[in-house]
Each structure stands twice: as C-alpha cells, then as structure tokens.
Amino acid sequence: MPGLLVNGQWKTKNEFANEDGEFKRDESEFRNRISKDDAQSGRYHLYVSLACPWAHRALIFRRLKDLQDHIEVSVVHPHMLDHGWELNDDFDGATSDPLYGFDYMHQIYTKAKSDYTGKVTVPVLWDKDKETIVNNESAEIIRIFNFAFNELTGNNDDYYPDSLKDEIDSINDRVYNTVNNGVYKAGFATSQDAYNKAVHDLFDSLQWLEGILNDGRDYLCGDRLTEADIRLFTTLIRFDAVYHTHFKCNIDAIEDFKFLQDYMVRLYNMPEIKPTVNMTHIKHHYYKSHPMVNPSGIIPEGPELMWL
Ligand SMILES: N[C@@H](CCC(=O)N[C@@H](CS)C(=O)NCC(=O)O)C(=O)O
C-alpha cells in the first residue's frame, strides 16, 4: 500500500497513477554528497529493501567497493502495508532499526526533517553524526560509493570512468525511462493508452539492449563492467518472476532474449552480486504491497528460474 508524509504526518494513499492513468516518479528530496574528509568508517548507515531495484543498486555497489565493513545495512520488511516500509525483523532477512529502534521508515524521514512532505522511499543513506539523510536517490548513492571512500578502502575500481561517461549517461537515460521505470509505468498504469505506450517502449528497449550484447560485447559499454550494467541488472533479475506477471510486461520474458538472459546470469553469478539477490523478498514485496494491482495478495508459484 503506498502512502506518503504530508507535513510530517503519515497518510495512506491507495493509488500510484495520476488523473491520466500514468505513473510519474517523484524527484528524491535529499541530495547531499560525502566529501573525502567526511568519508569515515562506521559513520553512515544504509536503509534498503531487498525487494527494491533502486536500493539493490546501492547494495551491489557497497560490495563492489569493499564497503561492507564501513557501512552497516538495515533491511526493511518486504511487505509495504498501511504504514509504508516497516523496520521489524519478523521476516527472514529483515532487520529492526539499530539506530533508533523505529518501527517505520517514515520515522527516519521525520527524524531528518520533522515537516517532511513526500514519499518515503528506500534506499536511504543516513549520517549518524549529523543525524540526517545524506541522500535518498540511488543514482547518486552509487556515485558516492564509487568514489568517496576510495582512500578508506584502497579500492579504486571505477564504474563511471571519464572515458565512458557520455556512453554510460546515454544508456542510463534510455534504460531509466523505459526499462527501470518503464516496468512501473506499465504496472501502475490505469489507462490502456498509458500501459500500451509503456509496455511497447519497454520491449523496444529490451530489443535494443539485446542488439548491443549481440554485438560481441560482454557489458553494455564494451569489455568492462560499469554502473550502466548494475542499473540494468536490478530490473532484469526481477523481470520474469515479477514484472512479467504482476506488471503485465508479458510480450516476452527475459529468458526469451538469448543475450540478455546470458548476461543477466553472468552478472548474477558474480561474488559481489549473488549475495545481494533475495527472490523471496522480491516476490513477497511486489505481490503483497500493491492491492490495486493484486488485491488477493496471492504470490504465484512460478516461474521456475533455472539460474537461481
Ligand atoms: N528515485 C528513487 C526511487 C526509490 C523508490 O521509488 N523506491 C521504492 C521501492 S522500489 C519505494 O521506496 N517506494 C515507496 C513508495 O513509493 O511509497 C531512487 O532511485 O532512489
């Protein structure tokens, strides 16, 4: 069940689409960075959902950049119900809030800003010293992880290298609008036109991506892994189990795309990625948290994912 904070008060809201039946994603509110001086071990805390493709980006970067010993993680309960995301360990893999003992993620937002108005989303990167949210935009959190802690960890791997910035930006732009967010536009549409446009844009882009990988490339930008791959991966891994059924993205499945499927499985099997994938949280979250899409909350048994 979606909801939001209005002047610091939680309100439930049983819909995602606007009057035209379209889903529009809001801009994230907290957009700060971390300077090299402030990049201290143990100072920051990451709140995620294992179900959420945006939070998943941050979890993967935390491992790619050797930040596990420096940034602790809390995992919300996969069911997003009347109070939004809940912080309780009443589900395997979920954790309670070690910092404040809060029950709900919206309390973290009002701790940061008591009159906050807007959605309560994950991921959230929290500063324990300043007791506020550094950033709640995954695209920026992964850039912070890519770079800010390099001196602390000695890990200088760069997933947004200067030489590939333009190519990465251009791929990200299309993938964000038509794939990452495209599945949500299809799934939350309440008009046939909005759904049709989203689903066709999505499958046009999947064909385009299949073409890129069919061109002898191991990764979207050639022979090295970049943030563009991680951003695409977190949608691909949820696709056949969730988006194909729950969000009606069923023109094809990912397993029908030879190159995309091989690429997804290759990324999945990376030691930094595999431990971040939790299909139980993924299926529970989507099928149980959107009563306007799936009122019964029934979780489908299939499909059998041979690579899992
Ligand atoms: N732009 C944000 C979007 C994050 C986002 O929408 N997360 C979803 C979970 S998949 C969420 O927390 N939704 C709560 C809601 O919509 O009320 C980001 O990429 O960090």
Task: Give distance in angstroms: CA of 88 to centre of ligand 1.
Answer: 19
Judge whether 221 counts as a catalytic residue. no
Candidate CATH numbers 1.20.1050.10, 3.90.550.10, 1.10.3720.10, 3.40.50.620; the one for domain 162-274: 1.20.1050.10
User: Tell me: the pLDDT tens digits for 205-224?
Assistant: 999 999 999 988 999 999 99
Domains of the chain by residue range: 3-153, 162-274
Q: Nearest C-alpha to atom 6 of ligand 1 is from which residue?
A: 121
- Say which residue the tokens 């090295």 belong to: 224
82 CB neighbour count, 10 Å cutoff: 11
> Structurally, what CATH architecture does the domain formed by 3-153 represent?
3-Layer(aba) Sandwich (3.40)
What's 222's DSSP letter? Answer: B
Give per-residue pLDDT as tens, 21-55. Answer: 899 988 999 999 999 999 999 999 999 999 999 99
DSSP state of 242: I
Report CA-CA distances (Å) from 180 to 187, 205, 223, 229, 238.
Answer: 12, 11, 23, 12, 10
Whole-model pTM: value is 0.97
For the stretch 178-210, pLDDT in tens is 999 999 999 999 999 999 999 999 999 999 999
Q: What is the average pLDDT score of the chain?
A: 97
pLDDT at 13 over 90: no
Question: How many angstroms separate the alpha carbon of residue 154 from the centre of ligand 1?
Answer: 31
DSSP string for 146-212: HHTTHHHH-----SS-GGGHHHHHHHHHHHIIIIITHHHHHHH--SHHHHHHHHHHHHHHHHHHHHH
- Choose the catalytic residue: 47, 104, 184, 195: 184
Using CA atoms, how far residue 97 sits from 157, 188, 305, in Å, is: 31, 30, 32
Q: Is 184 a catalytic residue?
A: yes
